[in-house]
């Protein structure tokens, strides 16, 4: 069964921000090899592909399951409401596929250690 990872960001009018997410996604591919056959990124708004198109892309490439990973720091409206609503619509569109949402970035267990590491390596 092909598994896919879809990293979801807000999207920005500033193209460089979207490029940054694309580059991050490329760096994640080798780190998740063997766990995910397909890795892409998508956006809530302001950039393409939008989340529904990203899910379709994964499924069109043969994914039986899609794990949506919200690249958001806090559980604001987008994380708590908008993304789950989009995922529920995608589940209706693709009833034979498994489409799930991972913990958003800010709630990840390793986040405090990562922030501490960054701070300790950037002190004056």
Catalytic residues, which ones?
10
Handedness of CA 77, 78, 82, 83 (dihedral sign): negative
> E strands along the chain, which residues?
3-9, 38-43, 65-70, 98-101
Distances, alpha carbon 4 to alpha carbons 37, 47, 60, 74, 99, in Å: 6, 20, 11, 24, 9
Spatial separation of the C-alpha atoms in residues 110 and 103, rounded to whole Å = 12
């Amino acid at each position: 069964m092909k598994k896919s990872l879809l990293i979801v960001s807000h999207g920005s009018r500033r193209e460089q921000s979207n490029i940054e997410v694309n580059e991050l996604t490329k760096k994640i591919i080798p780190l998740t090899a063997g766990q995910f056959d397909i890795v892409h990124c998508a956006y809530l708004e302001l950039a393409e592909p939008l989340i529904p198109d990203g899910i379709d892309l994964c499924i069109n490439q043969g994914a039986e399951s899609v794990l949506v990973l919200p690249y958001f720091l806090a559980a604001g409206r987008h994380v708590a409401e908008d993304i789950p609503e989009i995922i529920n619509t995608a589940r209706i569109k693709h009833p034979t596929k498994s489409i799930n949402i991972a913990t958003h970035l800010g709630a990840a267990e390793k986040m405090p250690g990562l922030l501490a590491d960054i701070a300790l390596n950037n002190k004056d």
